[in-house]
Amino acid sequence: MHRTIAALRVHTSHDDIAGRDVLLWHHGSPQTGAILPPVQHAADARGLAVVSVARPAYADSPRIPGRTVADVAGGIEPVLDELGVASVVSVGASGGGPHALACAAAMPDLVRAVITFASPAPFTGDDDWFVGMQAPGGLRAAVEGEAARRRFAETDRFDPAQFVDADYAALEDDWGSLGADAGAAEELGPDGLIDDDLAFTRPWGFELAEVTASVLLVQGERDRVIPPAHARMLAAALPHATLDLRPGDGHVSVLRHLGAALAR
């Protein structure tokens, strides 16, 4: 089901989720915000409803120029209020990771746990932040500002070397819906991805020390999109973090562990 709440495109697994415990899904960059079947299956196994919100400039959610990571959490809060959810496990994949953390900082009484998969860490301002990224061009351009990031988007092409064999296997199996949804998001234009990259390379609008919920950081050690060093930076800065390194996984295949992460 999808609806518009607070001008944002909101997807829910049930018509009425008032009073339900919820998996709040923060999609990657780019995605449409649709609830992917493996996310739904993992939530069903734990008795959770699912809410997924398309970030500003994705799908039908209007763009907010200059938005920060914290701004997105501020926009999601009235959505959850209107839906009347009881509690939240905030789960973010890749570019959704910072937003999963931001919701925990903004809504400590509602968010009882956070799980991230291959999340970037806050930008450090130095070149070490990019080490291990196969194709950091978009993020490097974002450091220079919106105009530079838009120029990069005009010639940007996916580098297949970003994914390892395990990633391609996952995209051909349970997580094929993720690849299809990313393609659908790209057809709608680059604004969401551009604004995400800009937000990631600017101050996020909150401090990681403000995240009082427990955080499970699931990270593939073979990830060439967001390298393991980012997970280690997050683990060092978050007050209650557990680092779960997966030696055989890359950027997409690490999502295979969603069910196990929810069980923890």
Query: Tens digit of pLDDT for each residue in 53-73?
Result: 999 999 999 999 999 999 999
Task: Say whether pLDDT at 117 is over 90.
Answer: yes
Q: What is the predicted pLDDT for the residue at 241?
A: 98
Alpha-carbon distance 218 to 202, whole Å?
24
Q: Classify strands 87-93 and 111-117 as parallel, antiparallel or unpaired.
A: parallel
Average pLDDT over residues 237-262: 98
Task: Say whether pLDDT at 2 is over 90.
Answer: no
Alpha-carbon distance 201 to 187, whole Å?
24
- How many other C-beta atoms lie within 10 A of the C-beta of residue 94? 25
- How many other C-beta atoms lie within 10 A of the C-beta of residue 86? 13
Q: What is the predicted pLDDT for the residue at 79?
A: 97
- How many other C-beta atoms lie within 10 A of the C-beta of residue 2? 15
For 69-114, write each residue's pLDDT tens digit.
999 999 999 999 999 999 999 999 999 999 999 999 999 999 999 9
Q: How confident is the model at residue 52 (pLDDT cuts 50, 70, 90)?
A: very high
Task: Say whether pLDDT at 221 is over 90.
Answer: yes
Q: What is the predicted pLDDT for the residue at 212?
A: 97
Q: At 111, phi and psi to the nearest 5?
A: -85, 115
Average pLDDT over residues 129-137: 98
125 in the Ramachandran plot: left (φ > 0), alpha (ψ -120 to 50) or beta?
A: left
Q: What's the chain's average pLDDT?
A: 97
For residue 12, the SS3 value is strand
For 5-43, write each residue's pLDDT tens digit.
889 999 999 999 999 999 999 999 999 999 999 999 999
Q: How confident is the model at residue 49 (pLDDT cuts 50, 70, 90)?
A: very high
**Residue 83: which residues within 8 A CB-CB, separation 6 or more?**
5, 10, 12, 17, 18, 22, 51
For 188-197, write each residue's pLDDT tens digit.
999 999 999 9
Provide the percentage of residues in the chain whose pLDDT is more than 70.
100
Alpha-carbon distance 27 to 93, whole Å?
6
Alpha-carbon distance 67 to 264, whole Å?
33
Q: Classify strands 214-220 and 241-246 as parallel, antiparallel or unpaired.
A: parallel
Q: How confident is the model at residue 253 (pLDDT cuts 50, 70, 90)?
A: very high
CA-nearest of 170, 199, 168 to 97 is: 199
For residue 143, the SS3 value is helix
253 DSSP 8-state letter:
G
For 171-208, write each residue's pLDDT tens digit.
999 999 999 999 999 999 999 999 999 999 999 999 99
CA-nearest of 85, 79, 78 to 43 is: 85
Class of domain 2-263 (CATH, top level): alpha beta
Q: Are 33 and 59 in contact (CB under 8 A)?
A: yes
